[in-house]
C-alpha cells in the first residue's frame, strides 16, 4: 500500500514505523497509568467514591443502564468526557506520583549553556527524573508526597500546570503527541469499569511497588478483587 499526501509519497516502511511508534508509545503508557490509578483508588476510597458520583452526575445514568456496559460506553461522548474534571484530576495526580516514563532526557546536538550557566559539550546527555520531580516539596509544596487530586481543581474545574512543572508528558516541541488521546482512552476505561465494579487489593496485599524498567511497571502486577456494584 502506498499513500499519497500532496506531492509526498509515504512509503510502506514509513507508515509501518508510524503505526509501530503509536502502538509502542500508546499501549504500555496508558495501561501502566491505569494500574497505578486503580492502586491509588484502593488506597484512597474517598477519591473513588467521588469519581463514581461524578460519573453518575455527568452521565445521568439510571438503573436501566446498569447491566449494559456496551450501552454505557456507547453513550460516552466527548462532551461527557470533558465534564469529568475530578477523574481528569485523579489521572493527572496519578501521573504526578507515578510518571510512566520516570526518567527521560536528551543529548546535546551542539555545545550549549543551560539557564543556570552549566556548559554542555556536543554529545553530552541531560536527564531529568520525572518520578523525583513529582515528589519534590520545592515544586509541589509540603504535601508533595500526598495523593490529593483536589490540588488540580479550582471551583470544580481542572486546572492544568505548566508542562515544565508537570513533566509526565515531557515539555517543549517534542512533548507527547498522544496526550489528549491518552486521557480520552483512560477516562473511557476508568468510567466503564468504575461504574460497574468496585475494587479492593487482593487478600494479603497491602502495598505494591515498581519494577525498574524503561516504563514504570508494577512489580508483580496489581492483584485486585472486583466486586459488582449494587445501587
Query: 491518552: which residue's cell?
Result: 182
Query: Looking only at residues 30 through 49 of this chain, which bind ligand HEM when binding is defined by CB under 6 A?
Result: 30, 33
**Chain-centroid distance, C-alpha 31:** 9
21 binds ligand HEM (CB under 6 A): yes
22 binds ligand HEM (CB under 6 A): yes
Scanning 19-27, 66-74, 137-145, 195-203 for contacts with ligand HEM by CB under 6 A, the matching segment is 19-27
- CA 219 to CA 39: how far, in whole Å? 12
176 binds ligand HEM (CB under 6 A): yes
Scanning 29-37, 78-86, 137-145, 193-201 for contacts with ligand HEM by CB under 6 A, the matching segment is 29-37
Give which of 11, 172, 183 is closest to 105, Cα–Cα: 172
When CB distances to ligand HEM are compared, the closest residue is 178
Q: Lay out the site mask for ligand HEM across 98-117 (x = CB under 6 A, - = otherwise).
A: --xx--x-------------
Scanning 28-36, 56-64, 74-82, 143-151 for contacts with ligand HEM by CB under 6 A, the matching segment is 28-36
- Residue 143 Cβ, how far from ligand HEM at the closest point, in Å? 22
82 binds ligand HEM (CB under 6 A): no
29 binds ligand HEM (CB under 6 A): yes
- Residue 21 Cβ, how far from ligand HEM at the closest point, in Å? 5
Give which of 76, 88, 56 is closest to 157, Cα–Cα: 88
Cβ distance to ligand HEM smaller for residue 26 or 218: 26
Residues annotated within a binding site for heme: 176
Interacting residue ranges for ligand HEM, rule: CB under 6 A = 21-22, 25-26, 29-30, 33, 95, 100-101, 104, 168-170, 174, 176-178, 181-182
Amino acid at each position: 500500500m502506498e499513500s499519497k499526501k500532496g506531492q509526498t509519497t509515504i512509503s510502506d516502511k514509513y507508515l509501518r514505523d508510524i503505526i509501530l511508534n503509536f502502538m509502542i508509545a500508546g499501549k504500555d503508557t496508558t495501561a501502566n497509568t491505569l494500574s497505578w490509578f486503580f492502586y491509588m483508588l484502593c488506597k484512597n476510597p474517598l477519591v473513588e467514591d467521588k469519581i463514581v458520583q461524578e460519573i453518575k452526575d455527568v452521565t445521568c445514568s439510571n438503573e436501566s443502564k446498569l447491566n449494559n456496559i456496551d450501552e454505557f460506553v456507547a453513550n460516552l461522548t466527548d462532551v461527557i468526557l470533558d465534564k469529568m474534571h475530578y477523574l481528569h484530576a485523579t489521572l493527572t495526580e496519578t501521573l504526578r506520583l507515578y510518571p510512566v516514563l520516570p526518567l527521560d532526557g536528551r543529548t546535546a546536538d551542539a555545545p550549549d549553556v543551560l539557564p543556570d550557566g552549566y556548559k554542555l559539550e556536543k554529545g553530552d546527555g541531560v536527564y531529568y527524573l520525572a518520578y523525583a520531580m513529582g515528589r519534590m516539596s520545592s515544586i509541589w509544596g509540603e504535601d508533595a508526597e500526598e495523593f490529593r487530586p483536589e490540588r488540580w481543581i479550582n471551583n470544580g474545574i481542572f486546572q492544568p500546570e505548566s508542562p515544565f512543572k508537570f513533566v509526565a508528558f515531557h515539555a517543549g516541541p517534542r512533548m507527547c503527541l498522544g496526550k489528549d488521546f491518552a486521557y480520552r482512552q483512560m477516562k473511557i476505561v476508568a468510567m466503564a469499569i468504575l461504574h460497574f465494579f468496585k475494587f479492593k487489593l487482593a487478600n494479603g496485599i497491602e502495598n505494591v511497588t515498581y519494577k525498574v524498567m524503561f516504563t514504570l511497571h508494577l512489580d508483580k502486577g496489581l492483584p485486585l478483587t472486583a466486586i459488582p456494584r449494587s445501587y
